[in-house]
Amino acid sequence: MTNPTQPRSRLKRPQAVLRDAASRGIRVTIWGIVASTVLAIVKVVSGLAGNSYALIADGIESMLDIVSSVVVLGSLQIASQPADERHPYGYGKAETLAALAVATALLGAAVAITVQSIREILMPHLLPKPFTLVVLVLVVIAKEILFRKLSHAGEEIGSAAIKTDAWHHRSDALTSVAAFLGISVALLGGEGYEAADDWAALFAAGVIAFNGTRLFRSAWREILDVAPPREIVERVRGIAGELDQVKAIEKCLVRRSGLMLFVDIHVVVDGDLTVREGHDIAHRVKDALLDAELGILDAAVHIEPFVEEGE
């Protein structure tokens, strides 16, 4: 007979889900690194040859995309490691810390582009060359594809770091759009409109700063174990409450750690049950939660006795 106090084999399934999610995240992140590397080189070279600081700034932002993606890649590899004696809750927070680092990099990029844009506005320079517009159109298309691919992957596996990295690419696309508009104004206006390109870069820096702040707050909330959306908590309560011999759910706490969720739930059962019977109910609740498609890595189930009104 199996000892009910021993860990169930079901615990292996969440670990497999974690490894699979991390593997998918790693693949899409590597794809983003390769694409960002090519785009960064194209933009910097084109900006230098075409007298466009907005395009050069865009290329620098793409280089930061590479750095941030490498950080995300490392965090996913760490987060996929199983729990051990020193880290009984696993390494999920490494992924959240990466999201925080990437958001900080976005804010840093916004400051750097702002400072250099102001310098370029105050410093007379040549008009940008028309071919830079073609480069920017191709860049916007490529970056939007990257954003959609990473954003979809981040939503599917619940990765804050990948979703933040996706917005890094969306910000890059926005800076390219701003650069396109600025260069177009400069070329149409001719002499005296050279700074339009730099004003576009300044506007793009504001967009980057806005997104960086929003993503920083999101990652910070996850570090502080802010509760997930209410529908997830209600689904956890519903799964546990539908099981036989479960009379009610007294308390249900859910928190996210990287790619997975941890649950702390109090289940109300008949107070006349034996300890072994209560223990078996607790395991059935835990197994049901781990088997649900919610990305739950572990669940702590506490049994409470049912009390009749008036007692």
State the Cα–Cα distance between residues 178 and 210, nearest whole angstrom: 15
Q: For the range 144-151, what are the long-range contacts, defined as Cβ-Cβ under 8 Å and sequence gap of 24 or more?
A: 144/170, 144/173, 146/32, 146/35, 146/36, 147/173, 149/28, 149/31, 149/32, 150/28, 150/29, 150/32
Q: What is the pLDDT of residues 199-247, one digit of tens each?
A: 877 887 887 788 788 878 878 887 887 778 888 899 999 999 888 888 8
Burial call 224-257: b when 16+ CB within 10 Å, e when fewer: eeeebeeebbebbbebbbeeeebeebeebebbbb
Please give the pLDDT value at position 264: 92
Place of tokens 């960002």: 36
Please give the pLDDT value at position 265: 92
Which domains does the chain carry? 9-223 (1.20.1510.10), 230-305 (3.30.70.1350)
Please give the pLDDT value at position 280: 92
Q: What is the pLDDT of residues 234-292, one digit of tens each?
A: 999 999 988 888 888 988 999 888 778 889 999 999 888 888 998 999 999 998 998 88
| CB contact at 8 A, 193 and 185 | yes
Helices (H) and strands (E) in the chain, counts: 8, 3
- Residue range 115-131: average pLDDT? 77
Cα angle vertex 152, ends 146, 156, to 5°?
A: 145
Please give the pLDDT value at position 302: 93
Residue 6 predicted with pLDDT over 60? no
Q: What is the pLDDT of residues 11-53, one digit of tens each?
A: 556 667 677 777 778 888 888 888 888 888 888 888 888 877 6
State the Cα–Cα distance between residues 221 and 27, nearest whole angstrom: 27
Please give the pLDDT value at position 15: 67
Please give the pLDDT value at position 206: 83
| CB contact at 8 A, 63 and 40 | yes
DSSP of 239-264: HHHTSTT--EEEEEEEEEETTEEEEE
Tokens of 53: 């600081």
Local structure of residue 304 (DSSP, 8 states):
E
Please give the pLDDT value at position 7: 46
Q: How confident is the model at residue 56 (pLDDT cuts 50, 70, 90)?
A: confident
Local structure of residue 266 (DSSP, 8 states):
E
The mean pLDDT value of the chain amounts to 80
Residue 9 predicted with pLDDT over 70? no
